[in-house]
Amino acid sequence: MTSGSELSLDCSVHLADSLEVPSDLEAESIESLVHFALGLEGQQGHWIVNIALVDEDEISRLHDRFLGDSAPTDIITFPHDEQNWHGGDIAICVPVAAEQGPEHGKTFIEELLFLVLHGLLHLSGRSDDTAERRADMLGRQQVVYDAWLAASR
C-alpha cells in the first residue's frame, strides 16, 4: 500500500456450519489478503467486505436467484457502492473450490484465497465478461497473490 492513502476495512468471514476447511486457513489470513489487495489496487475510503464460504446447495440457490442459473459455481460477488463505503459480499463454494483447485495447479487453500481475490477484484470494478478481460483478471489475481505471499514472509 502506498503511504498516505486512506483505507479502512471491515472484513468478516463466515463458514457454513456443515463445511470443513483446512485448519490452517485462518480468517486473519483472508483479512490480510483483502487489505493488502485493496491497497495494491489503489482503493481508498471505507470498505466493508463479507465473505461467506458456502456449500453447493447455497451457491446454487444464490446462482439461481440472482443469475437465473441453478448450477453450482465457484464464486458469486455482490458489489455495493454506498455513499459512505465500498465493498460488498462474496460467496465462495467450498466443494467447488476443493474440486477445481488441483485442476488449476493449486492447493485447496490457494484456490480459496485466489477466489477471494477474484471476488475482491470484482468489488473493485474489474470485469471478466469477455475472454480477454477474464485473462487479464486472472493474471492480476496471480500478481496480487504472489505479492501478498512475498510481503507475508
* Residues 84-135: tens digit of each pLDDT: 889 999 999 999 999 999 999 999 999 999 999 999 999 999 999 999 999 9
Going by C-alpha positions, the residue among 76, 83, 16 that lies closest to residue 48 is: 83
CB 126 within 8 A of CB 98: no
Fill in the DSSP letter of residue 41: T
Taking the C-alpha atoms of residue 38 and residue 148, their distance in angstroms, rounded to an integer, is 11
Domain boundaries, the chain: 7-152
Task: Report the predicted TM-score, pTM, of the whole model to 2 decimal places.
Answer: 0.89
pLDDT over 60 at 1, yes or no: no
Instruction: Write down the pLDDT at residue 17.
Output: 67
Helix (H, G, I), strand (E, B) or coil at 79: strand
Roughly what angle, to the nearest 10 degrees, separates helices 94-103 and 56-67? 100
Mean pLDDT of 27-51: 91
The fold of 7-152 is Collagenase (Catalytic Domain) (3.40.390)
pLDDT digits (tens, 9 = 90+) for 3-24: 445 888 888 888 776 778 878 8
